[in-house]
Amino acid sequence: MVGHAVEISPRAPLSPAHRLAWLDVLRGIGALAVAFHHGTFHYLPELRRGYIDQFSPGIWGVLVFFLVSGFIIPASLERTGSVRRFWIGRLFRIHPLLLVALGGFVVLGVTGLSPMEERLGEGFDPVAAVLAHLTMLQDLLSVPSALNVLWTLSYEMIFYLLVVGLFALRVHRRSATVTLAVAGTALAIGPLLPTLALTRGLGLRPAVVVVTVAVVLSIVLACSRRPGVARAGALLGGATGLAVVLFNSRIEAWQGLVLLAMMFLGTAVHRADQGELAWRWVALAGVGTVTAALVLGRWGSPDMVDDNAGRAWNSAVLLAVAAFAAAMALRDRRMPRVLAWLGVISYSVYLLHPLVLALSDGTIWRPERDNPWWMAGYLVAVVALSAVTHRLVETPMQRLGRRVARRADPGPPSPGAVPASSPAPEPSARS
């Protein structure tokens, strides 16, 4: 993971870590944007009503996260060429804090400060809820997310499965082609695809169990030392992930496909930045993705974050791509230390701010009118709590994950690994 910025000579070249600090800045701003967006429901409702039809900070922050993930995640796999290291790293990077956040949700529910039924619904299936959240695929399995932000982790997980599948097929470097294929599929058949078809056909718990078994089995097989078995596992995971996006999404399938296209667009940018892909192909992939997002957004009503997002979706798409391009154009400059640090703790900010809002509602009250001071206090509390959880949970678990990964696969990089001269940052989750 990219660390803090340090003072260097104005003439000194920036290190690879500092050249990647722009990604942390984007993550930090994106996380605060999502936290602010959710906070406006509680502390700035009048202000929110004035702009939400034109722009959604929440959608913008999520799209920025997905672009950053697309840039980073494939690089983390290709750096070592080890699928085993990749999955171990993902497990230790994402799940420790996820379990902490889910534990906080349970505590708030048990104490009555934020009843669980308000999020999971009355009569929810506990087996389905636990399995779906542990695989992070609850948003694609008709299981309400315990925390409203967790839906994005479902698409993050699908991206991991697809990246590993493409790596197994040795077509992972064709990022522009993959981006255009995903965006084209969204345009061509996205509006025609069913929602929740698997869940309706099998029933909630059977569908969750089937997908969970398929995903866990795919990861176990993909980590095998036998190439044929590993390839079969990787392809099973990719096929399972694609199937649930196409046929079992909570939202219309075209929206999920656009999100995946945004992530693969981030990967295409990484390829071009490393000299592996001509920038004209990245531009074509970008135009294709944005066109699909805007055309489909005009045809339908994106509801992944807010009902009837409308024009707010279009502006968020355009501004997310613009922000990513602008930050990359400035990547050779030193980034503000505070913003880079905020990016380092952004995963905690993203996961924990709903708990802070729920705790505030359950113990104090909401102001009747806009109150900027309450909003400021809430954001300060989120950042302070995130700094603590990053230090006590994220950092030690990431270190442990790296040690476990090295012991699990101490051998030389597999064929197709990125050379050591092309460093990639320690990946992080967005959202």
pLDDT tens per residue, range 225-270: 999 999 999 999 999 999 999 999 888 899 999 999 999 999 999 9
pLDDT attached to residue 298: 81
- The pLDDT tens digits of the residues spanning 324-363 come to 999 999 998 999 999 999 999 999 999 999 999 999 999 9
Of 130-139, 215-224, 266-275, 302-311, the poorest mean pLDDT is in: 302-311
CA 105 from centre of chain: 20
Q: Are 21 and 2 in contact (CB under 8 A)?
A: yes
Q: Are 74 and 90 in contact (CB under 8 A)?
A: no
Q: Are 268 and 189 in contact (CB under 8 A)?
A: no
Residues 140-149: b if buried by 16+ CB within 10 A, e if exposed: bbbbbbbbbb
CA distance 410 to 424: 19
pLDDT attached to residue 347: 97
CA distances 304 to 151, 160, 249, 386, Å, are 9, 20, 11, 25
Place of tokens 């999020």: 119
Name the pLDDT band for 417 (thresholds 50, 70, 90).
very low
Structure-model confidence comparison of residues 121 and 207, the more confident one = 207
Mean pLDDT of 118-131: 88
Name the pLDDT band for 120 (thresholds 50, 70, 90).
confident
pLDDT attached to residue 424: 34
∠ Cα 56 73 246 (to 5°): 65
- Maximum separation of any 2 CA atoms in the chain, in Å: 64
Question: With 90 as the cut, is the pLDDT of residue 6 above it?
Answer: no
CA distance 354 to 35: 8
Name the pLDDT band for 416 (thresholds 50, 70, 90).
very low
CA distance 425 to 427: 6
Q: What are phi and psi of 9, to 5 degrees?
A: -60, 140
pLDDT attached to residue 427: 35
pLDDT attached to residue 5: 37
Please state, for a pLDDT cut of 90, what percent of the chain lies above it. Answer: 77
Name the pLDDT band for 301 (thresholds 50, 70, 90).
low
CB-based contacts of 228: which residues, under 8 Å, 6+ apart?
none
Of 90-94, 219-223, 351-355, 410-414, the poorest mean pLDDT is in: 410-414
Structure-model confidence comparison of residues 363 and 302, the more confident one = 363
Name the pLDDT band for 406 (thresholds 50, 70, 90).
very high
| DSSP letter, residue 257 | H
- The pLDDT tens digits of the residues spanning 7-58 come to 333 434 445 556 689 999 999 999 999 999 999 999 999 999 888 888 999 9
- The pLDDT tens digits of the residues spanning 96-108 come to 999 999 999 999 9
Name the pLDDT band for 306 (thresholds 50, 70, 90).
low
Question: With 70 as the cut, is the pLDDT of residue 375 above it?
Answer: yes
Question: With 60 as the cut, is the pLDDT of residue 3 above it?
Answer: no
Q: Is 278 in a helix, a strand, or coil? A: coil
Q: Are 317 and 3 in contact (CB under 8 A)?
A: no
The tally of CA atoms less than 13 A away on the side-chain side of residue 304 is 30
pLDDT attached to residue 7: 36
pLDDT attached to residue 23: 96
